[in-house]
Amino acid sequence: MRMQKVKSYKMNTETMETNKTAATKTERITGCEAIIRCLIEEGVDILYGYPGGAIMPVYDELFKYQGKIHHVLTRHEQGAAHAAQGYARISGKVGVAMATSGPGATNLVTGIADAQIDSTPLVCITGQVPSHLLGSDAFQETDIVGISTPVTKWNHQVTKAEDIPVVLAKAFYIARSGRPGPVLIDITKDAQFQEFDFSYKKCTGIRSYTPAPKVNIESLKTAAELINNAKKPLIVWGQGVILGEAEEELKAVIEKSGVPAAWTILGASAIPTSHPLNVGMVGMHGNYAPNKLTNECDVLIAIGMRFDDRVTGDLNTYAKQAKVIHFDIDPAEIDKNVKTDVAVLGDCKESLGLLLKELNANSHEDWHQEFKDLYEIEYEKVIKSDLLPEKEGLTMGEVLKEINIQTKGNAAIVSDVGQHQMIACRYAEFNKTKSNITSGGLGTMGFALPAAIGAKMAKPEREVVAIIGDGGYQMNIQELGTIFQQEVPVKIVVLNNEFLGMVRQWQQLFFDKRYASTEMTNPDFVTIAKGYHIDAKRVVKREELADAVQEMIASKSSYFLEVCVEKEDNVFPMIPSGASVSDIRLS
Amino acid sequence: MSEEIKTLTISVYTENNIGLLNRISAIFQRRHINIESLTTSQSEIENVNRFVIVVNITEIQAKKIVGQIEKQVEVIKAYYHDDHETIYTESCMFKIKSDLLFDEPQIQNIIKESNTRIVTVNREFFVLEKSGRRHEIEALRKELNVFGIMQFVRSGRIAVTKDEMKITELLAQIKN
């Protein structure tokens, strides 16, 4: 049996080569082989997944196609989803995850929800029980299409092999076009086995779906006029700039107009940290100046961002004095949270390019001075003690500072969720775009370790450093197995404060220090890493830190570094939840 | 835009695909909005479905919801209108014991005066059907209820708008 199948594989790949020139030519193959062929047609080189009963026919094909497409066995389906996200976030390509029916499929859901809220292009393929068993509560049957509906951009169940090419072509098109997002395709086992006449045609459009609205020149001119006449304009950009690959356009806009530009967490790295017009991060733990001055600017220019509550704080006191201009690809974002005076819909690569021509050159020196003055206050009250602490305990900030020095700001930083994430986003230096990979909207603990795997595999030439808390690390710690088996040279830094630090911080500030279930008794992380044959080191003293970080970055293979940091440090500045951005606290 | 809660009719033109109803109703559920009625049928265009959804919300909410609905890949276009901008009707059916038709002569008058149609009559029961505004149907139900109703059922609202909805043009545009 096996021999025969291998033979037919050879035959099929031969015809595939010729197929590229004659796209309309069909050949008779099974549904499961068609799935692999569709993935190859869409340029998928790596996918992440976990086998099981209802997806086994596809894995059998993966075995035959292993020279053409690399399947990475994660240790949990959630790891597969996050790895696919990391792959997508660093490369801009569609990430692919695969799982079996039932628990395999439901384990993907957290990653799918994360990708939905962070607009990450993902195609998830799940096996399903044979179509005659649908609705019968069969073994490992779950209504994954129903379950995933609210957290997918699109989803679909395939019960006939002949539908596979059209549906997968549509899946990739929807995932990557417009505002990207996750798509789930559920394929019944009988459809995987069925033979049909295969041919592949990429999807180029769907009549009910407009990926990017056309840029309206009138509103663009109104926006330009507002910016040109503004005395205190402020740009806040988000991930839309990165997804739209409009980094150069944004840079040109801010350099010509002289408008100070701040970023949301997911917008980080679109413009280098060191750029003089980059005034830092907005939001709950963002920088003092851009938060404070949001409520003093006269024109607020939002670009590819969605006014998340962690960015705006109390909406009733958010930028009320300002005219608001909103550039976005998604019409549903306009006026969703903040009332906009001028909306410029469309792909921001196009709209920013057009805006540039309408803008007057300016420098806004006095206005910039206000940012510098507030930065000085933040530096004295927060940043200095974070980066150059005089106390005995190590701070998370100084670890980031060492990583910046050793990587020269060229690394992709993959952070998890919590205090270390805020510190990483505040202090990591970015020279290159697509370098800040973190779970922003959903706040998924456990994201970083698998996402770092995906990121490193997508861009092996880049240094990828995962920064994780001791809590989130243990949520997907099993993925060390994937790192070991796949030999992924990812660098893992666990900032261990033996607490669920962010929750503890809130307990300290808002719950009278009642530390309910936030203290962690942790295992020996170094021993665990060594158990997976990963080089590992623990740092407890400041004088060991620089050398340890240097050794980690110099390593050619995966490396685990645990830094035991001060247990009860807090992240500041902070806008308490529900407070106004101008009520940002420095302590 | 008004923050007053009013009855709004949301019209949604969609592809005819499995699961879309779920996707659309989830948008209301997530925002804790009760759907007063929902009707879906073929529209004036072949293979395009139309949802008519009635909700009591503010216009600000309606605008956001229409945005979220339109965002769904298989939704072609969505609109919201108030009662002055639509022509709308509901339809209902009553099943009543046939004896009453002879024992209670007023019933015949009620049927005549309310423009209600008799769908069928047999020895055991007869069935009435009426289309109209909610208050007309309610009035009829109250009148007949005095005599006893075996079954009563009312459909959701169906509505056409006074304004044109250029779906055909929109679809043609997308094709080009």
Number of domains in chain A: 3
Distance CA A479, CA A58 (A): 23
Domain shared by A30 and A152, yes or no = yes
Find the residue in A nearest to B70 (Cα). A332
- For residue A160, tell me if it sits in a domain: yes
B77 CA to centre of own chain? 19
pLDDT given for residue B166 in this prediction: 81
Domain shared by A43 and A177, yes or no = yes
Domain shared by B70 and B94, yes or no = no
Domain of A414 in residue numbering reads as: 388-577
Domain shared by B110 and B121, yes or no = yes
Domain shared by A421 and A481, yes or no = yes
Domain shared by A39 and A182, yes or no = yes
Distance CA B53, CA B43 (A): 14
Domain shared by B101 and B136, yes or no = yes
Query: Each residue of A132-168: pLDDT tens digit?
Result: 999 999 999 999 999 999 999 999 999 999 999 999 9
Print burial letters for B104-114: b (CB count within 10 Å at least 16), e (below 16).
beebeebbeeb
Residue A583, amino acid: D
Domain shared by B17 and B65, yes or no = yes
Domain shared by A45 and A124, yes or no = yes
Domain shared by B79 and B17, yes or no = yes
The upper half-sphere exposure of residue A559, i.e. CA atoms within 13 Å in the direction of its Cβ, equals 18
- For residue A210, tell me if it sits in a domain: no
pTM over the 0.90 mark: yes
CA distance A296 to chain B (A): 26
- For residue A209, tell me if it sits in a domain: no
CATH number at residue B70: 3.30.70.260
Domain shared by A313 and A457, yes or no = no
Q: Is a pLDDT exceeding 80 seen at residue A20?
A: no
| Mutation site for A-interface testing, chosen from B69, B73, B74 by largest number of A Cβ within 10 Å | B73
The complex's ipTM works out to 0.91
Domain shared by A139 and A254, yes or no = no
The residue among A406, A458, A366 whose CA lies nearest residue A121 is: A458
- Per-state percent for chain B, helix, strand, coil, to nearest 5: 35, 40, 25
- For residue A521, tell me if it sits in a domain: yes
Domain shared by B109 and B55, yes or no = no
CA distance A341 to chain B (A): 14
Domain shared by A131 and A92, yes or no = yes
Q: Residues in chain B with pLDDT < 50?
A: none
Q: Taking the alpha carbons of B55, B57, B59, B63 in that order, is the dihedral positive or negative?
A: negative
CA distance A101 to chain B (A): 18
B19/A156 Cβ within 8 A = yes
Domain shared by B106 and B53, yes or no = no
B11 CA to centre of own chain? 11
What percentage of chain A reaches a pLDDT higher than 90? 96
Q: Report, in angstroms and rounded to the nearest whole number, the Rg of chain B calculated over CA atoms.
A: 20
The residue among B63, B66, B62, B87 whose CA lies nearest residue B76 is: B66
Query: What is the enclosing helix (H) or strand (E) of B8?
Result: strand B6-15
Number of domains in chain B: 2
Work out the mean pLDDT of chain A and round it to a whole number: 95
Q: Is a pLDDT exceeding 80 seen at residue A7?
A: no
Domain shared by A243 and A278, yes or no = yes
Domain shared by B95 and B148, yes or no = yes
Distance CA A287, CA A266 (A): 15
What percentage of chain A reaches a pLDDT higher than 70? 96
Q: Given the residues A502, A507, A562, A574, select the one marked as catalytic.
A: A502
Query: Each residue of A464-497: pLDDT tens digit?
Result: 999 999 999 999 999 999 999 999 999 999 999 9
Domain shared by A301 and A446, yes or no = no
Domain shared by B67 and B109, yes or no = no
Domain shared by B53 and B16, yes or no = yes
Domain shared by B79 and B93, yes or no = no
pLDDT given for residue A13 in this prediction: 38
- For residue A585, tell me if it sits in a domain: no
- For residue B175, tell me if it sits in a domain: no
pLDDT given for residue A556 in this prediction: 97
Domain of B46 in residue numbering reads as: 6-87+162-169
Which residues are CB-contacts of A353 (< 8 A; sequence separation ≥ 6)?
A246, A249
Using alpha carbons, list the distances in angstroms from residue A181 to A155, A304, A453, A538, B12: 11, 15, 20, 38, 23
- Clarify whether A502 is annotated catalytic: yes
Distance CA B131, CA B141 (A): 12
Domain shared by B133 and B107, yes or no = yes
pLDDT given for residue B165 in this prediction: 81
- For residue B99, tell me if it sits in a domain: yes
Token couple for A438: 């973190």
Token couple for A444: 């998924």
Find the residue in B nearest to A145 (Cα). B19
Domain shared by A505 and A568, yes or no = yes
Domain shared by A321 and A440, yes or no = no
